Amino acid sequence: MLPAWWKEAVFYQIYPRSFQDSNGDGIGDLPGIIDRLDYLQELGITAVWLSPIYDSPNDDMGYDIRNYQKIMAEFGTMADFDRLRDGLHARGMKLIMDLVVNHTSDEHPWFQKALADPSGPFGQYYFLRPGQPDTPPNNWTSFFSGSAWRWFPEQQLWGLHLFSPKQMDLNWSYPPVRDAVCHMVNWWLDRGVDGFRLDVINYIAKNPGLPAGDPLIGQLMGFTGVEEYFYGRHLHEYLRELQERSFTPHHAFSVGETPGVGMQMSKLLTGDYRHELDMVFDFDVLETPGHVRWDDYRYDLNYLRDYLVDYQDHYGSHYWQALFIENHDNPRMISKVNPDPQYRIAIAKLLAVIELTLRGTPFIFQGQELGRVNAQFHNIRDFQDVESINKYHELLAAGQTEQAALAVLLAGSRDHARTPMPWDTTPHGGFTTGTPWLAGDDDYRQYNAYSEMANPRSVWSTYRHLIKLRQANPVLVYGATDTVDRRRNAWSYIRRDDDHQPIQVLINLSARQKRMTIPAGGSLLYRNYPAHDGRFKAYEARVYRLPE
């Protein structure tokens, strides 16, 4: 297995709008992040992933980019970015940014030029199709509700948008688009960025002719047409070109966001011999079978175990897994597993044990290290997420009551992950001296970074301890994973290699006490409860070093 810095790294995802506000306007910014770099270093983080900071009209909170080579004014300046980059590198941390190139904002100059002259050179940058105002070119639907086509009456053209109507899809089959993307990526890599997380990167290759979606698949998947672009015919070709022209010359890292891609497709995208991507995020981990994000249900940790064991056993030595349980697009995992407050801390620590003791690269989302849970939103006015707001009105139009529609949002809104980071007990958790762009709740009064850092038994201290343990024990990075217990609600595995003492992890996956076999001669390295006894308590996890 080839070593690499990104295999040994512990990543921390920052959602800049909600991390730290430095100027009191209620919006997180780059100077605020710079002020918190010592916090990340103390936690043990070695790489930071920034959600988009590019110039944007913020229809989808920065994922609708207006200018790839300019910083969003609310976040600061390019000089602030340079200071952030230098501050991270001075602390031995890498920096990766979001690469959003499936689509741009409709305010991007490329799209404005395309509309102004559809037959000109920029007209083919996007999917612009002539037609009638009541007949879209095909039956594809948007991930943000409604048709995936927007009508432009002045030009008498339809434009494709898989997401918001202001996020227009780029036409990657047109070589100048690929040239422009490679040029932009190289510009950032030359500026010192260490790599990119590639947003919905498997959607870039729409099948030629944009065939209509199968209605039955659309009904099953919830989105019509998805089979024509989630793994398009030219996807590998486009990724290899981007790798060859940008990532390889700069020795840069890449991790793709790849919805709908399972293990076998992930192997085709990430094999170290294929020269496409280094890793991908497989979102099958986020919901149990038969459920989607908007469902109010209890996430079964036995599924998490089986999913991860499958990858540990079968992914192979030419591929590397991205280990994650939260991000900016999903509710908090603790709330999905068990919202009962008495289990909050135990579950948070259990999840930390899993993520930091398996083979793969951990990606921690901001606030995860504090045991954050879903926010207590009360009405539709509390939400800022365009997807959630569209979903709410779609449900009302379908006959749902306001209460029922709100319940769906409370289960699945992306805003749960985007509430301001709680730093201390001052108003708004110390995130801002002004009015935060997205209101949270009073949870920060008890759960905040200041109090967590001061408590040696806190969730934060658990993350810090386990990160240090991982960094001090190469067997936890590159070692094999041998599962020794997969009974219902039980999980035990051993990490081992030829050069280090093995480490065994034992986990009770339920709220019921459970008997588990303690390894003979093992020395305890971590336990998420303060005292020993014969049974494993609710959601208890332990880590032992085994004798050689």
Instruction: List, by residue number, the catalytic residues.
Output: 199, 257
Determine the 3-state secondary structure of 16 from DSSP: helix
Alpha carbon distance 463, 117 (integer Å): 54
145: left (phi over 0), alpha (psi -120 to 50) or beta: left
What is the separation of C-alpha 98 from the centre of its chain, rounded to a whole number of angstroms? 10
Burial class (CB in 10 A: 0-12, 13-18, 19+), 175: exposed
192: left (phi over 0), alpha (psi -120 to 50) or beta: left
Of the candidates 99, 121, 26, 151, the one whose C-alpha atom is nearest the C-alpha of residue 431 is 26
8 Å CB contact between 21 and 432: yes
Other residues' Cβ atoms within 10 Å of the Cβ of residue 136: 18
- What end-to-end distance do the CA atoms of the chain give, in Å? 22
- What are the start-end ranges of the E strands in 324-421? 361-365
Q: What are phi and psi of 395, to 5 degrees?
A: -65, -40
Burial class (CB in 10 A: 0-12, 13-18, 19+), 98: buried
